[in-house]
Amino acid sequence: MLGNLSHEVRQYLIITANYWAFTITDGALRMLVVLYFHQLGYSPLQIAMLFIFYELFGVITNLLGGWLGARLGLNRTMNIGLGLQLVALAMLMLPSAFLTVAWVMAAQALSGVAKDLNKMSAKSAIKLLVPENAEGTLYRWVALLTGSKNSLKGLGFFFGGALLMLIGFRGAIGAMLATLLVVWLMSLVLLKTDLGRAKHKPKISNVFSKSSAINRLSAARMFLFAARDVWFVVALPVFLSTQFDWSHWKVGIFMACWIIAYGLVQTQAPRFTRDSKVHIAALPWVAALATATITIAILGSIAEFTPMILVTGLLIFGAIFAVNSSLHSFLIVHYSNRDAVSLDVGFYYMANASGRLLGTVLSGLLYQVMGLVACLWVSSLFLLIATVLSIKLPAKVYRANQ
């Protein structure tokens, strides 16, 4: 069956498989670091600081990674990302006495670079494999790629919690290192095409978008993801562990199920927005997310969170957020310049990484000082800002059912 596919499509499938394999290890590593260092006695703010370089270097990587992809080809940026993740995992194989904050932050910095090189490569490639006028197909492919990635990240969360319980931190890191090494070696052999290489070599100054559509969408994306991570990254796992007395295994399973369900909803976003112009649909969906988050924050303010209230609220938040994320992921590819798509996508995901960075730092700080409800109110504020930014998203006339 694969032999009947074009060379470019086969190459893209290899990129996608690499992206999936990387995503599982990235999700597992995130959960391992949060739970393991909380177990060692680190405060929520200290745990958040372990990820600050992960997010900061993600900002830089997305800004420059699109330029590298346009000059070198997306296959090379993919392989560089896989190689850097191997180095990051190897750095965490040291005994716990040597895992200082600075060392773990350095490892997370490499992991952040690796993750965003992989994401940029996979998301950019899809634009080049769909005919210019087949926007319906483009939307479905983007939704499927984005949703499947997040479901696999959720699976990684589960593996992270489970492996920590079964074989410990170093054993889990070693297992992921060996698996990803095999994937990387296969990628070096199989990825040979220069997919995504620009016809004209872009200058470094081209990394900044000159498109008002992309700038507005990127700003909305930044606040959207800051709103998610301000309570999801550090505050929520620590709250579930300390306030509900959930084991690492239970926290890992719950976070995994949430991400998997979130990813599955993302794949169905074209169905939910079938009768809407997509740029218009982005506004009511982010407004609905802001409304849901404000409601959760109010409930937490007037009464103590119970597992039922928090879990139900998180499921509602995740479902609406998933549609928002898919809409944005389609729009950036839709708005981007075909000849240098990686530049536009890289700039957009730079804003995405900036939002994650802001949300991650605030997640640890706000939770440590004021608790989970404060994180939810800040999340609500960010979503209101994203709603305002979405009001004037420019139209490329396209309906989701085309």
Residue 210 has pLDDT above 80, yes or no: no
Whole-number pLDDT of residue 401: 38
Look at the block and give the residue holding tokens 């409304």.
291
Contact present, 125 and 13 (Cβ < 8 Å): no
Whole-number pLDDT of residue 277: 58
For 133, list phi and psi in degrees, rounded to 5.
-95, 5
Residue 147 has pLDDT above 50, yes or no: yes
Fold of 2-193+206-390: Growth Hormone; Chain: A; (1.20.1250)
Contact present, 190 and 319 (Cβ < 8 Å): no
Query: Which of 117, 109, 140, 157 has its CA nearest to residue 257?
Result: 157
Return the higher-pLDDT residue of 81 and 205: 81
* Both structure tokens of 109: 């910095």
Return the higher-pLDDT residue of 102 and 208: 102
Whole-number pLDDT of residue 380: 96
pLDDT, average across residues 296-315: 88
Domain ranges of the chain: 2-193+206-390
Q: Which residues contact 161 (CB under 8 A, 6 or more apart)?
A: 31, 35, 248, 249, 250, 251, 252, 253, 255, 256
Identify the burial level of 275 via C-beta atoms within 10 angstroms of its C-beta, where 0-12 means exposed, 13-18 middle and 19 or more buried. Answer: exposed
pLDDT band at 397 (very low <50, low <70, confident <90, very high): very low
CA–CA distance, 303 with 319 (Å, rounded to integer): 24
Whole-number pLDDT of residue 398: 39
pLDDT by residue (tens digit) across 326-359?
Answer: 888 888 877 776 666 667 777 888 888 889 889 9
Whole-number pLDDT of residue 229: 92
pLDDT band at 402 (very low <50, low <70, confident <90, very high): very low
Whole-number pLDDT of residue 195: 61
pLDDT band at 66 (very low <50, low <70, confident <90, very high): low
pLDDT band at 294 (very low <50, low <70, confident <90, very high): very high
**Residue type (1 letter), 24:** I
Whole-number pLDDT of residue 130: 63
Residue 188 has pLDDT above 80, yes or no: yes
Which spans in 212-275 are helix H?
212-232, 235-242, 248-267, 269-272
pLDDT by residue (tens digit) across 241-293?
Answer: 888 888 877 887 787 788 788 888 888 877 777 655 555 677 889 999 999 99
Whole-number pLDDT of residue 400: 39
Mean pLDDT computed over every residue of the chain: 79
User: Of 103-112, 129-138, 223-232, 349-358, where does mean pLDDT reach its minimum?
Assistant: 129-138
pLDDT band at 194 (very low <50, low <70, confident <90, very high): low
Q: What is the DSSP letter of 5?
A: S
pLDDT band at 202 (very low <50, low <70, confident <90, very high): low
pLDDT band at 230 (very low <50, low <70, confident <90, very high): very high
Return the higher-pLDDT residue of 6 and 95: 95
